[in-house]
Amino acid sequence: MTGEDMALKAVIFDMDGVIVDSEPEYQRVEMEMVKKFNASITLDHLKEYTGIDSVTMWAHIRERFDLPQTAEELSREEERLMRRYYESGELKVIEPTVSLIRSAHEQGFRTGIASASGKDNIAAVLRRLDIGDYVDAAVSGSEVPRHKPHSDIYLHTAHLLGVVPEECVVIEDSLAGVAAARAAGMRVIRYAAGGSREEIGGADFLVSDMAEVTLPL
């Protein structure tokens, strides 16, 4: 039996851009942080880092603008500033994804979240959306040695879920995330909101509306 033929047992979700639309708020916070150092960065430049872990992004920005803080300090500051958005309910919720998480769990699938965001922000989303009981494992990028596009976070999540990679499908929005899931040997659905990003990026399926995703695949 090939990996593609193995029965699906687990669904793993990215969080930012799949469960909540946090990208505008992240970009706002990042632009404000850079502005504090009398520098400016364009929205187009920030979009280049979509799906890349925070420390790597800030290492590049720090070098470009010669910022005094370390990349790790800047990343922690960003997570702190973002927490109010996660906790306040200001972030737009992608409701079909929330419904899919509940449905997947109720159908007996193992469900996981694998996100570059910090553990506190993941926990805040689980609380706000009241889906903690429907998620069997939630892994932050801070818990693995290498970040997306490396496979570490997805392999670790599968381990916690008690499944092998070939039994998983991942739902991702970024190219880095798709690459990470493919490197882990998992099936991948790429969610491109509103059909704005047509590149499938190595995913098995491309959807523009999360309501298009139903289980079993």
Q: Specify the pLDDT at position 39.
A: 86
Instruction: Classify residue 40 by burial, with Cβ atoms within 10 Å: 0-12, 13-18, 19+.
Output: exposed
187 and 123 in a common domain:
yes
For every one of its 217 residues, what pLDDT tens digit does the chain have, with 9 covering 90 and above? 344 567 999 999 999 999 999 989 999 999 999 999 988 889 888 888 877 889 999 999 999 999 999 999 999 999 999 999 998 888 999 999 999 999 999 999 999 999 999 999 999 999 999 999 999 999 999 999 999 999 999 999 999 999 999 999 999 999 999 999 999 999 999 999 865 555 788 899 999 999 999 998 7
Of the residues 14, 53, 152, 173, only one is catalytic, namely: 14
**One-letter amino acid for residue 70 of the chain:** T
102 and 180 in a common domain:
yes
Beta strands 187-191 and 168-172 are parallel
120 and 206 in a common domain:
yes
We report the CATH number of the domain holding residue 72 as 1.10.150.240
81 and 139 in a common domain:
no
Confirm whether 16 is a catalytic residue. yes
Q: Specify the pLDDT at position 198.
A: 59
205 within a domain of the structure (yes/no): yes
176 and 144 in a common domain:
yes
SS3 call for 213? coil
Domain boundary (88, 107, 127) is at: 88
Of the residues 5, 16, 53, 209, only one is catalytic, namely: 16
DSSP string, 77-89: HHHHHHHHHHHHT
Structural domain total, the chain: 2
134 within a domain of the structure (yes/no): yes
38: left (phi over 0), alpha (psi -120 to 50) or beta: left
117 within a domain of the structure (yes/no): yes
114 and 76 in a common domain:
no
Domain boundary (41, 59, 88) is at: 88
- Domain that includes residue 56, residue range: 23-88
198 within a domain of the structure (yes/no): yes
27 and 16 in a common domain:
no
Q: Specify the pLDDT at position 199.
A: 76
Confirm whether 66 is a catalytic residue. no
102 and 37 in a common domain:
no
**pTM across the whole model:** 0.91
41 and 57 in a common domain:
yes
175 and 119 in a common domain:
yes
Q: What is the DSSP letter of 36?
A: T
Distance, CA of 26 to CA of 53 (rounded, Å): 12
124 within a domain of the structure (yes/no): yes
162 and 104 in a common domain:
yes
Domain boundary (33, 55, 88) is at: 88
217 within a domain of the structure (yes/no): no
9 within a domain of the structure (yes/no): yes
Q: Specify the pLDDT at position 53.
A: 85
